[in-house]
Chains A and B, each alone.
Chain A
Amino acid sequence: MRTERLLLLALLLLLVASLGAAGWFGLRLVQDRLANADIAALASGRDIPVDADARPALLLARLSFLATRDRFEEAQPLVNRIMATGDTPIVATALYDLANARLRAALSHLEINEIDPAVPLVRLAKEGYRRALGLDPGLWDAKYNLDIAMRLVRDFPQIETSGEDLPPEAAKRLWTDLPGVPQGLP
C-alpha cells in the first residue's frame, strides 16, 4: 500500500497548492478590481488619493487627473514614481499626457498673450514628448504634438508682431530657449 500512501500525499499536495494558487489569484483579482474602480473614479473626475507604491496604471490615472487640472507641481513627482516602476507603455503614456497638459496650458497662456509663463511649459512639453518617443518611437500622437510644440517657438514672433504691448525682455528670454537656430526651420 506504499503507492496508495504516495498517491494520498500527492493528492493532498495538489489540493493545498491549487487552493493556495486560487487564494492568491483571487486576492489579486480583488485588488485589480478595486484599482480599476479607483481608475474609473479618477477618470470621471473624482479625486482619490493614491498611495506612493500603487500600481503604475493607478498612478497614471491620478497623474492624468492632476494634469488635466493644471496641477503640474503635484503631477511631476507621480511621473518620477511611474518611471521607477519601469512599465514602459505606462511611462510613455504618462509622459505624453503630462506634456499634452503642459502644451495645452501654454497655448491658453499664449491666447491671451502671456508669453513668459508659456515658454517653460512648451519647453517641458517638448522634453516630455521626446522622452515618450524615446520609449516608444511609434507614438504618432506624440510626434504630431511635438511637431506643434516645435513650431510654436517659431510662432512666438508672429504673436509678438501682431500682439499689442509686449515687454521686449520677454521676447528676448523666449529666444534664449532656442538652441542656436530655430528648430525645424529649413
Chain B
Amino acid sequence: MRAPPRLPAGLLLLLAPLFAGAAAQAQVRAVDLYAPRPFGYTIGDTIELSAEIALDAPFRLDPASLPRPRALSYWLDLRDVRLDDRGVADGVQRYTLHLAYQTFYAPLEPKRLDLPALPLTAADGGRRIELSVPSWSFLMSPLREIVASAGGTTMALRPDMAPPRIATAGTLRHLGVALIGALLALLLLAWHLGWGPLGRRRTRPFARAARAVTAELAPSTSSPPAYGRALVALHRAFDATAGAGVFAEDLPGFFAAHPAFAPVEGEVRRLFAASRRLFFGEDPAAAARELAPEDVLALARRLRAVERGSA
C-alpha cells in the first residue's frame, strides 16, 4: 500500500471537520451483521448474533469500547461478548464479534422488539473513528393465553423441580473395577509367590521342592530315608531350573547362568557335598553332619524365596 501524501499540519486541522465523516467511512470497510431467525422468541430465550467487521489495516478495534456483559434494559441482558481477531489480509483488518443476548420480555401478543445498535471505537494510534454494529429487530411471542380457555386458571404455576438424588451408579462401577483389580492383583501375587495350590507350577521347581522338603522333614515323620528324599527333591528342583542334570562340578556354570542364587552358594555347595556323602559314600551320619535336616529345610525355603524374587 502507498502511504497517503503528508499535508501540512495546519491545513490538516482546517480540513479535518470537512473530511472527518468521509474518512471514517473509508476506514471502516464493512460491518455485516449475521443474525438468526427474526421471529418465534419467547421469554428467557437467548439470541446469538455475530458481526463481521472489516477495517483499513492500521486501525484496530479498541477493546475498551466493547460492551461488557450486563443488563442493557429491564428486559434485555447482554450475556456474552467475544471478539475474534481474524488478522490482516490485503490491508484489511477483520474481526468477528460474537454477541449473546437474553430477552425477558413477556409479551401478550407477538411483538417486535429491537436489539440496540452497539457503538464501537477503532484507533490507529493517533486517530480514532466511531463505528457501530447495527440494531436488529425480532418478533417475540407469548407463552400463555391471556384468559384461560380450558377450564384451568391462568395462575396455575408449573410444579417445582424435585431435588435430584446423588447418582451412585458411577461410584458403584468404579468400586467394582477397583475390587476386581484387587482380586486380580491378589491372584497374580499368589501365582507369583506360589501360594496354596498355585505352588505346584512347573516354573516354580523350588516352590514344589520346598513343599516336598517340608513334608518329608516334618518332625513326626523324619527318618533317614525321608532325609534322602528331601535331598532328591531339591536336586530335582536344581535340574528343572537349569534344564539339565546339575552335579557338583556343574555348580559354577549354574551360578553363572542364575546369578540370583549366588547369595546361597555356600549352602548349595554343602547340600551337594552332603548328597555325595549320602548317595555315593553311603554315610548318612556324615551327610547329616554336613547339612542337618533343619538346615535342609531352611535352605529349601531360602531357595524358594530366591526363585520368586522375595529373598
Query: Which residues of A are in contact with B by a Cβ distance under 8 Å?
Result: 1-8, 11-12, 14-15, 17-19, 21-22, 25-26, 28-29, 32-33, 35-36, 39-40, 42-43, 55, 57-58, 60-61, 63-64, 68, 89-90, 93, 96-97, 100-101, 103-104, 107, 129-130, 133-134, 137, 139-148, 150-152, 179-180, 183-186
Whole-angstrom distance between the alpha carbons of A146 and B107 in the complex? 12
Quick one: given A39-B163, A133-B44, are A183 and B309 in contact (CB under 8 Å)? no
Please pick, from B106, B155, B158, the residue contacting A183 in the complex, using a CB distance under 8 A.
B106
Whole-angstrom distance between the alpha carbons of A179 and B154 in the complex? 24
B168 near A36 with CB under 8 A, answer yes
Whole-angstrom distance between the alpha carbons of A18 and B175 in the complex? 9
Whole-angstrom distance between the alpha carbons of A148 and B310 in the complex? 76
Whole-angstrom distance between the alpha carbons of A119 and B74 in the complex? 17
Q: Which A-B residue pairs are the 10 nearest by beta carbons?
A: A4-B309, A1-B260, A184-B106, A18-B181, A150-B106, A5-B309, A141-B158, A22-B178, A15-B185, A21-B178
Please pick, from B104, B144, B164, B165, the residue contacting A133 in the complex, using a CB distance under 8 A.
B104
Please, could you name 24 A-B residue pairs with CB atoms under 8 Å apart, sorted by A? A1-B307, A4-B260, A4-B307, A8-B189, A15-B185, A15-B189, A18-B182, A22-B175, A22-B182, A25-B171, A25-B175, A28-B171, A32-B171, A33-B168, A39-B166, A64-B163, A96-B160, A101-B160, A104-B157, A141-B158, A141-B161, A142-B44, A151-B154, A179-B74
Q: Would you give the shortest CB distance from B246 to chain A, in whole angstroms?
A: 17
Any A CB within 8 A of the CB of B240: no
Q: Name the B residues within 8 Å of A93 (CB-CB).
A: 161, 163-164
User: In the complex, what residue of chain B is closest to A183 when comparing beta carbons?
Assistant: B106
Number of interface residues of B (CB under 8 A): 55
Whole-angstrom distance between the alpha carbons of A139 and B188 in the complex? 52
- For window 185-208 of chain B, which residues contact chain A by CB distance below 8 Å? 185-186, 188-189, 192-193
Query: Which residues of B are in contact with A by a Cβ distance under 8 Å?
Result: 42-46, 74-75, 77, 79, 102, 104-109, 111, 142-144, 154-155, 157-166, 168, 171-172, 174-175, 178-179, 181-182, 184-186, 188-189, 192-193, 258, 260, 306-310
Please pick, from A7, A107, A186, the residue contacting B107 in the complex, using a CB distance under 8 A.
A186
A25 near B178 with CB under 8 A, answer yes
Q: Name the B residues within 8 Å of A186 (CB-CB).
A: 107-109, 111
A55 near B166 with CB under 8 A, answer yes
Q: Name the B residues within 8 Å of A179 (CB-CB).
A: 74
Cβ-Cβ contact count across A and B, 8 Å cutoff: 176
Q: Name the A residues within 8 Å of B104 (CB-CB).
A: 130, 133, 146
Q: Name the B residues within 8 Å of A145 (CB-CB).
A: 157-158
User: In the complex, what residue of chain A is closest to B310 when comparing beta carbons?
Assistant: A8
Whole-angstrom distance between the alpha carbons of A22 and B12 in the complex? 79
Q: Would you give the shortest CB distance from B172 to chain A, in whole angstroms?
A: 6
A96 near B161 with CB under 8 A, answer yes
Whole-angstrom distance between the alpha carbons of A15 and B165 in the complex? 33
Q: Name the B residues within 8 Å of A147 (CB-CB).
A: 43, 106, 142-144
